[in-house]
Amino acid sequence: MKKIPKLALLATSVGCIAAFVGGALAAPASPHIKISMDQARTKALEVVPGNVIDAELEKENGAWRYSFDIKLNGEMHEVGIDADSGKIVENALATPSKRD
């Protein structure tokens, strides 16, 4: 029976651990979306023509959407745009607890 040198065994073990940890820590794949942030922003501003304070791409209830906080006449509105279809999925006045 052949003996495996300790250094080769150690190198193989470290390589396997690094591959496992690297895969586990890798960033999740980007979602497949059909409209861009700019397209969604344009649509949101058609609904609420104010100043965009915050914008993000988020997964909500299993679907990807863009969420925009838009300030208009001193009030904060939240407009959600489906990232796949471009449809408006939310248009509401933001409550203070939603903004914090």
Residue-level pLDDT at 51: 98
Q: Could you tell me the mean pLDDT of each successive run of 10 residues in the chain, 100 residues long?
A: 52 50 50 91 98 96 96 97 97 73
Q: What are the boundaries of each domain within the chain?
A: 37-99
Q: What is the bridge-based pairing of β-strands 63-72 and 75-82?
A: antiparallel
Two structure tokens written together for 92: 């509401």
**pTM score, whole prediction:** 0.66
Identify the CATH number of the domain defined by range 37-99: 3.10.450.40
Residue-level pLDDT at 12: 53
Two structure tokens written together for 1: 């029976």
| 75 vs 99: CA distance, rounded Å | 11
Residue 99, classed as helix, strand or coil, is helix
